[in-house]
Each structure stands twice: as C-alpha cells, then as structure tokens.
Amino acid sequence: MPNAAVELLEIEPDIIQVTMQDKAHKNAFSKELTDGLMEAFTRIKKSSVYKAVILTGYGHYFASGGTQEGLLRIQQGITKFTEDRMYSLALECDIPVISAMQGHGIGGGFVMGLFSDFVILSKESVYTANFMKYGFTPGMGATFIVPEKLGASLGHEMLLNGGHYRGGDLEKRGVPFPVLPRQEVLDYAQELARELAEKPRNSLITLKRHLVTPFREQLPAVIEKELIMHDETFHDDEVKKRITTMYGV
C-alpha cells in the first residue's frame, strides 16, 4: 500500500495483518490513518483468500482516537463522526478480526478495537473511553459496544467518568479478554489467527455473519441517538475550551 500510515502484511497466505503506524500523530485518526484503514479493509474485502485479520498498532500505541483538529471540527459543526464508518470496519468485515491492542487504546481508538471479534489487551497499556473528559457524550457506537463487551457496570463507569484504566486493572475487574504483557500480545494474536485459518473460509464467514448480525442491526439506531446527544453537548464553549487545553494531557 502507498499509505505509510497503515501497513498490510501477509503473515501467511490466508492471514493478513493491518498495522497502524502513524507515528507523527501517535495513531490518532489523522486523514492518513483513516484513509489507510479504509483502503486496507477494502482490499481485504476484495480478497477471496484471507480467513483472519489482525489489527494492531506500533510500540506503545494501538489507536488514539480523534485528532485535536478533528474534534474541533465536530465541535464547530463542520463535520460529524459519521463522515466515514471507520469505527465499524472490523464489525463489517466478512472474516474474523482480531484486535491485538498491544498499546494504548484511547477514546475512539479503544472503541474501534472493541468492534473486533477478538480483543487482546496489554497489561501495561492504558484503555479509556475518555469522551466525557472533554465534556461531550460518547460517539462511534461507544454507548453500545463498550457495555456490550465489558459488561454494563464497568462499561457505564468507563463511559461516564472517562477515566484511564491499565490493562492489568481491567484484568482484575474481570474483562473477558486475554490481558498479556505487551511483548506477548502480537504473538498470541498470530497464533489465534492460525487456529482460525484451520477452518473453512466459507464457514468462518457464515458463522461470523450469524454472530454479529444483531450488532450490525442495532448499531444504526445507536449512532442516530449518539448524534442527537452530540447536537446537545458537543457545541458548548466549555467543550471547545477542554479540547483546546486538555487534549493529549
């Protein structure tokens, strides 16, 4: 791929790894990263060979959510988070997707990872649904997928307080995902992908479609409600001030 922010690597003939590596933005949702992800999953959809996708980041970063510029554009009413459907790329992918979240998953970056079929966390990394830190209500399907994947109690806590949680802390809270030392996350994901690749491709596609159809059917109504909440909360002056002064802190 010509896009340097996203690398596609065939681990084996039927396993593809998508590595987010926009180091200039620490894997925030820059145009380079979003374009690269959209192109990567388009290419995967066109393939008749792949059986599993591994989605991962670089170093200490999995994905960091919206850029400051992007959040300010939403705050100013110039755009909405629905400009693309990047957040649901893993959900819409025909074949199973493994989020190897070796690094920090922040805001929309964490949410994007949770839409995968398999989630692997790092003990050392920070995971946060930090929308409310900036004063606006969550988007990108967060109000649905965070409680769905982490359980209502912990999910609502993460959404309401926008706090930061180490993977090791989430492990103690009973999250239903493997939580491993950072250096072991990708190896675990690749072994899991090999186990999936032992199955017939058509059977993987058929079963995934059956398992995620309820999510796919519910998500549009959730997104519509999140957009209504954004109209009520995102355009306040306090939100603009928080994005301007607190971003990246």
The model's pLDDT over 143-189, given as tens digits with 9 standing for 90+, comes to 999 999 999 999 999 999 999 999 999 999 999 999 999 999 999 99
In a domain, 229, yes or no: no
The pLDDT, as a whole number, for residue 148 is: 97
Report helix angle 237-246 to 68-75, nearest 10: 170
In a domain, 1, yes or no: no
Does 112 score more than 80 pLDDT?
yes
In a domain, 203, yes or no: no
Tally of domains within the chain = 1
Does 75 score more than 80 pLDDT?
yes
In a domain, 53, yes or no: yes
Tokens of 97: 């997707």
CATH number at residue 160: 3.90.226.10
Residue 48 is classified by DSSP as S
Does 3 score more than 80 pLDDT?
no
Does 1 score more than 80 pLDDT?
no
Q: Which residues are catalytic?
A: 230
In a domain, 116, yes or no: yes
Does 227 score more than 80 pLDDT?
yes
In a domain, 108, yes or no: yes
In a domain, 158, yes or no: yes
Domain region containing 159: 6-182
In a domain, 234, yes or no: no
What are the helix (H) ranges across the chain? 31-46, 68-75, 89-92, 108-114, 142-150, 152-161, 167-172, 182-197, 201-233, 237-246
Does 2 score more than 70 pLDDT?
no
